[in-house]
Structure 1
Amino acid sequence: MLPCLNKQLFGIDCLGCGIQRAFINVIKGNFIAAFNLYPAIYTLLIMAIFLLLNFKYQFKNSKKIIITFATINVLIIVVSYFIKMKFIFNL
């Protein structure tokens, strides 16, 4: 797997740390472990599937749906990152 450059240089997880391991766990069927590693994995996968389908079928209001998916994903990623950092630094 690809190493996290941010973690190697600064010793702190980045917002994407865990996504590779989470994706591998989804493929293996370890759904709870995947969620524990990276809570946004499922919303990101749903968004990716929607984007792929949208290339073929051009859904109506797809821009609004993509913006909604992106907003939800960013919120989940940022909130879970701060929760993880809180536990790491015991704030």
Structure 2
Amino acid sequence: MSSIEEYMLPCLNKSVFGIDCTGCGAQRSVALLLQGNFEAAFYMYPAIYSIILLLLIVVFNLFFKFRYDYTIKIGLVILNGVIIAGSYLYKMFYIFN
């Protein structure tokens, strides 16, 4: 994976303040996912699968309208927010202490 990491964007928040942001690990998670390492992708960024599900539903909804689409999308946005915040807090307070 070292050849892929050469092309990844650095985290501005981490380089300036020295603290991970809530999106740190997302690029590496996508790279791991594309390599077929699904478990490592989840551990790198736990919200990867719910974000992919949300993106699939949003793209599908552009072409096909269905009942409760807004409610489903809002629910997935809230779920993603909870997963991202929870994993960030876990990483900041449990792993680094």
Could you say which TM-score interval applies, normalised by the shorter chain?
Answer: over 0.9
Q: Distance in 1 between matches of 2:36 and 2:66?
A: 30
CA-based RMSD: 0.6
Instruction: Please point out which of 87, 93, 96 is paired with 1:80.
Output: 87
TM-score (norm 2): 0.89
The answer to whether structure 1 residue 24 and structure 2 residue 36 are counterparts is no
Instruction: Please point out which of 11, 15, 19 is paired with 1:12.
Output: 19
Task: List alignment gaps of at least 5 residues for structure 2.
Answer: 1-7
User: For residue 41 of structure 1, what is the aligned residue in structure 2?
Assistant: 48
Instruction: Please point out which of 39, 63, 74 is paired with 1:67.
Output: 74
**Counterpart AA for 1:35:** F
How far apart are residue 51 of structure 1 and its match? 0.5
Q: Which portions of structure 1, spanning 4 or more consecutive aligned residues, are displaced by more than 3 angstroms?
A: none
Q: Distance in 2 between matches of 1:60 and 1:41?
A: 25
TM-score (norm 1): 0.95
Task: List alignment gaps of at least 5 residues for structure 1.
Answer: none
Residue identity (%): 45
Count of aligned positions: 89
